[in-house]
């Protein structure tokens, strides 16, 4: 579990049984604009909102699994 303010742009998270993608847009109060992956709607999240981070994977031409957004070793505890 993490706060929205701890998640960076391009990361994904789950909140109330919906999955979201964090964008670059933010407000002065720290709120971040996120898009729902199931219906494409945008929603502003308060920086203190607690969410569950997750990763999205894809398949290459040989059906090998690869992360859409690779993480650095320091970020592996997400």
- Reported as a single tens digit per residue, the pLDDT across 23-37 is 999 999 999 999 999
DSSP characters over 36-68: ETTT--EEEE-TT-EEEEE--EEE-TT--EEES
Domain 2-75 has CATH 1.25.40.10: no
> Residue ranges of the domains in the chain?
2-75
Position with higher pLDDT, 73 vs 48: 48
pLDDT in tens, 68-78: 887 776 655 65
| Cα 53 → chain centroid | 6
| Cα 46 → chain centroid | 14
In which band, very low, low, confident or very high, does the pLDDT at 44 lie, cut at 50, 70 and 90? very high
């Amino acid at each position: 579990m993490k706060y929205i303010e701890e998640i960076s742009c391009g990361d994904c998270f789950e909140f109330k049984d919906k999955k979201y993608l964090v964008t670059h847009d933010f407000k002065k109060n720290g709120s971040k604009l996120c898009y729902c992956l199931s219906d494409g709607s945008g929603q502003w999240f308060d920086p203190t909102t607690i969410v569950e981070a997750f990763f999205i994977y894809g398949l290459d031409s040989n059906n090998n699994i690869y992360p859409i957004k690779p993480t650095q070793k320091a970020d592996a505890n997400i």
